[in-house]
Structure 1
Amino acid sequence: MSVDSLNWKILNCLQDNARLSNAEIGRRVGITSPAVSERIKKMEDLGIIQGYHTTISSFEAGYQLKALITLRAFMGKLKPFLEKVKTYEEVVNCYRITGNENFVMEVVLKNQKHLELFIDQLISYGETKTQIVLSHVVKNNSIKKAGV
């Protein structure tokens, strides 16, 4: 199954509001509710649609800081870190990257002391660099059909 223009219209609707009913999506894209349901199910089965999520305000949930932390792993610490990072509640996202660093993590923290304690845990795995997030410029932008 390819992601044709109709599937892209459905994906755009879901990315804008994953709680839209199939009937509403059908009205917006010009097909029936059962046809929308069938297309969504196929895209889920193929892994194109990987899930539906609730976005929570970290600030309103009690986290005063959001930071991006890069880690350059010490020799022999790469694999242990790959397992450990999955256990950190502070880590919202973690990416393995190219360049001088091995990982970049998006973390939420209660305050500066929490940041200090978290970095203390990380330094046994490698060298860290921390940037405090001031604001979002682009937030959860939709993925659009790639240009050819």
Structure 2
Amino acid sequence: MLLDNLSWKILKYLQTNARMSSAEIGRQVGISSPAVTERIKKMEDLGIIESYNTMVSPLDVGYQLKAIINLRAFMGKLKPFLEKVKTYDEVVNCYRITGNENIVMEVVLRNQKHLESFIDQLIVYGETKTQIVLSHVVKNNSIQKP
């Protein structure tokens, strides 16, 4: 489904603040609250809006490290890994990618010992390459109109 300009505006407000009321969005885009609610419901039903999330600061809940881990799966280990990775609480995001590595993960960990233990769990599936994240430079979870 191609979105019209009004739906894109509604999405922009929801991506900025998913808790913004339909009435407030309606005031911003110039339509009634029920019309906003109807458009949002339609976008949810079509799968355009997949979910609403709460962003948590890893540092404030005890995770001192964030890392990017690339995995190059051993022969026959990719499929088992793809099932196992869903069970790791440390994994924030996981992508199957092209290139020399098969997987890239964003993980949060309590400390270096936790990182070492986590890598020990991964190495049965393949070779790992780890980078420690120093800071978050761009934080953009929104998709803009093409």
TM-score interval, normalised by the smaller of the two chains: over 0.9
The aligned amino acid for 1:63 is Y
Where 1:66 maps in the other structure, the secondary structure is strand
Deviations 1:35-80 (A, max 9, x none): 0000000000000000101000000010000000000000000110
1:121 maps to what in 2? 121
1:35 maps to what in 2? 35
Where 1:86 maps in the other structure, the secondary structure is helix
Partners in 2 of 1:120 and 1:45 — Cα distance? Answer: 41
1:69 maps to what in 2? 69
- Residue 142 of structure 1: how far off its partner (Å): 1.8
- Residue 141 of structure 1: how far off its partner (Å): 3.7
1:5-16 alignment to 2 at 5 Å?
5-16=5-16
Partners in 2 of 1:142 and 1:75 — Cα distance? Answer: 36
* Deviation >3 Å, runs of 4+: none
- Residue 140 of structure 1: how far off its partner (Å): 2.9
2:130 maps to 1:130: yes
Deviations 1:82-104 (A, max 9, x none): 11000011001100000000000
- Runs of 5+ in structure 1 lacking a partner? none
TM-score by length of 2: 0.98
Number of matched pairs: 146
2:82 maps to what in 1? 82
TM-score by length of 1: 0.97
Partners in 1 of 2:50 and 2:140 — Cα distance? Answer: 15
1:54 maps to what in 2? 54
The aligned amino acid for 1:49 is I
1:25 maps to what in 2? 25
- Runs of 5+ in structure 2 lacking a partner? none
1:110 maps to what in 2? 110
Where 2:34 maps in the other structure, the secondary structure is helix
The aligned amino acid for 2:94 is C
Where 1:79 maps in the other structure, the secondary structure is helix
- Residue 126 of structure 1: how far off its partner (Å): 0.2
